[in-house]
Amino acid sequence: MPNHTRKALVVLSGGQDSTTCLYWALREFGAANVEAVTFDYGQRHRVELDAARKVAAMAGVRQTVLPIDTFAAIGGNALTDDAIAPEAGARADDDSALPNTFVPGRNLVFLSFAAAFAYTRGIEHVVTGVAQTDYSGYPDCRENTLKALELALRLGMDSRVTLHTPLMFMSKAETVHLAQQVGAMEALAWSHTCYNGEVPPCGHCASCELRAKGFDEAGVIDPLLLRSQGA
């Protein structure tokens, strides 16, 4: 049985994974006990922020947008630097190099700010959509990183904050099935994943290919594509 006496803060980017996690949190904690935080970190594609606002409104949760402009000032990655184009296509399983869409320290900073934000509101549960099984192998999406960060946050803030990662060991197809179970499919029609910031999605960047592969393997039509095609 879900425990509706607890409160949760969901890190909501407006993407497929965070949208699914938001609806997971609604099921686990109860709608009245969930709110969302979105980070404006100077991302090139502002459509992400629009998607996050739309998803939060559809879910009926309070959303706060926090500005963090340091990543844009640092640059050096395809998500904040206009001079760098996102890599096209999914990477090979044996490719150990990090893609140029990796923003060093992003999840560490996001979750630290989220935990601090939650602390001021008496919220002990922070939910994030990171997944170790994701194609990129981003080091700040791995379970050992999140466990270490959780411990550091607890010690550094003398708190009982818990980082929840519902998608950690799920394939993209499994996350699609979870989205169905928690009632997130309608909201996914308004989520944004494309690294090129295109609406309808470009279909050929690594993120688009990964999303398409997940829906295909799940045997489900992506609601975003249906909306984009006017179906």
> Is 14 annotated to bind ligand?
yes
> Is 15 annotated to bind ligand?
yes
Tell me the domains of the chain and their CATH numbers: 8-228 (3.40.50.620)
Q: Which of 23-27, 91-95, 121-125, 162-166 has the lowest mean pLDDT?
A: 91-95
Edge-to-edge strand ranges of the sheet holding 125-127: 62-67, 34-40, 8-11, 125-127, 162-164
- Tell me the three-class secondary structure of the chain, residue by residue: CCCCCCCEEEECCCCHHHHHHHHHHHHHHCHHHEEEEEEECCCCCCHHHHHHHHHHHHHCCEEEEEECCHHHHHCCCCCCCCCCCCCECCCCCCCCCCCCCCCCCHHHHHHHHHHHHHHHCCCCEEECCCCCCCCCCCHHHCHHHHHHHHHHHHHHHCCCCEEECCCCCCCHHHHHHHHHHHCCHHHHCCCCCCCCCCCCCCCCEHHHHHHHHHHHHHCCCCHHHHHHCCC
> Is 159 annotated to bind ligand?
no
pLDDT exceeds 90 at position 18? yes
Q: pTM for this one? A: 0.89
pLDDT of 44 reads 73
> Is 21 annotated to bind ligand?
yes
pLDDT exceeds 90 at position 76? no
User: What's the length of the chain?
Assistant: 231
Mean pLDDT score of the chain: 88
Please give the residue that has the higher pLDDT: either 68 or 57. Answer: 57
Q: Name the phi and psi angles at 122, rounded to 5.
A: 70, 25
43 near 80, Cβ under 8 Å? yes
Closest C-alpha to 200, from 225, 223, 222: 225
Radius of gyration of the chain from its Cα atoms, rounded to whole angstroms = 17
> Is 205 annotated to bind ligand?
yes
CA atoms within 13 A on the CB side of 159: 23
> Is 16 annotated to bind ligand?
yes
> Is 12 annotated to bind ligand?
yes
Q: Per-residue confidence at 136, pLDDT binned at 50, 70, 90?
A: low
Q: In sequence order, what are the residues at sequence separation of 6 or more whose Cβ sits closer than 8 angstroms to the Cβ of residue 143?
A: 132, 165, 168, 169
Q: Per-residue confidence at 1, pLDDT binned at 50, 70, 90?
A: very low
> Is 202 annotated to bind ligand?
yes
> Is 141 annotated to bind ligand?
no
Alpha carbon distance 94, 224 (integer Å): 30
| pLDDT (average), residues 21-44 | 94
Q: Name the phi and psi angles at 9, rounded to 5.
A: -115, 125
Torsion angle defined by CA atoms of residues 78, 118, 158 and 150, in that order, rounded to the nearest 10 degrees: -40
Residue 142 sits at the vertex; the CA angle it makes with 33 and 172, to the nearest 5 degrees, is 75
